[in-house]
Amino acid sequence: MKPRFLLAALLVLSATGQAFAQESSDVADLVKASGCLSCHSVTEKIVGPAFKDVAAKYANDADAVSSLAQSVKNGSRGKWGRVPMPPHASISNEDLTTLTTWVMSHKP
Ligand code: HEC
């Protein structure tokens, strides 16, 4: 009886663990694959602003996810400093929304 119970508990644990890992690594992979991390990090300013600072700046902006998606797609200049962000025209609108939803998830 006991080993079976353990086995069942392990199965449930590994199934839920996988679901979580899957979700966060999909976004992480997209952020990496899109090249964002060569200029950004979540917590530190590199070339571009820290994503947590972006999320804080637009925390009260209901359209932040879509307006930031446009910024990433078309490029951005003058909002954070003198270095512009180049356009990312080849990223699909769906991926852009996923990326900026993730950026905005770092709100304080
Ligand atoms: C070549 C460096 C570089 C890359 C690559 C880059 N960024 Fe940026 N990013 C910047 C800079 C510099 C700024 C600040 C631009 C400004 O002052 O308007 C910025 C600003 C932003 C902003 C804030 C825009 C705003 O309207 O305030 C967001 C969101 C953002 N980046 C997300 C991304 C995402 C997502 C990616 C990956 C697809 C990415 N960035 C790739 C350099 C980069």
Residue 49 CB less than 6 A away from ligand 1: yes
What the chain holds in terms of domains, given with CATH numbers, is 25-104 (1.10.760.10)
When pLDDT is cut at 50, 70 and 90, the band that residue 24 belongs to is: low
Residue-wise pLDDT tens digits, 63-96: 999 999 999 999 999 999 999 999 999 999 999 9
Whose Cα sits closest to atom 29 in ligand 1?
68
Q: Cα(21) to centroid of ligand 1, in Å?
A: 26
48-55 CB contacts, 8 Å cutoff, 24+ apart: 48/80, 48/83, 48/85, 49/80, 49/81, 51/103, 51/106, 52/106, 52/108, 54/103, 54/104, 54/106, 55/103, 55/104, 55/105, 55/106, 55/107, 55/108
The number of CA neighbours under 13 Å toward the Cβ of 61 is 14
Residue-wise pLDDT tens digits, 36-57: 999 999 999 999 999 999 999 9
Q: Cα(89) to centroid of ligand 1, in Å?
A: 13
Q: Which of 52, 38, 57 is nearest to 105 (CA)?
A: 52
pTM listed for this prediction: 0.84
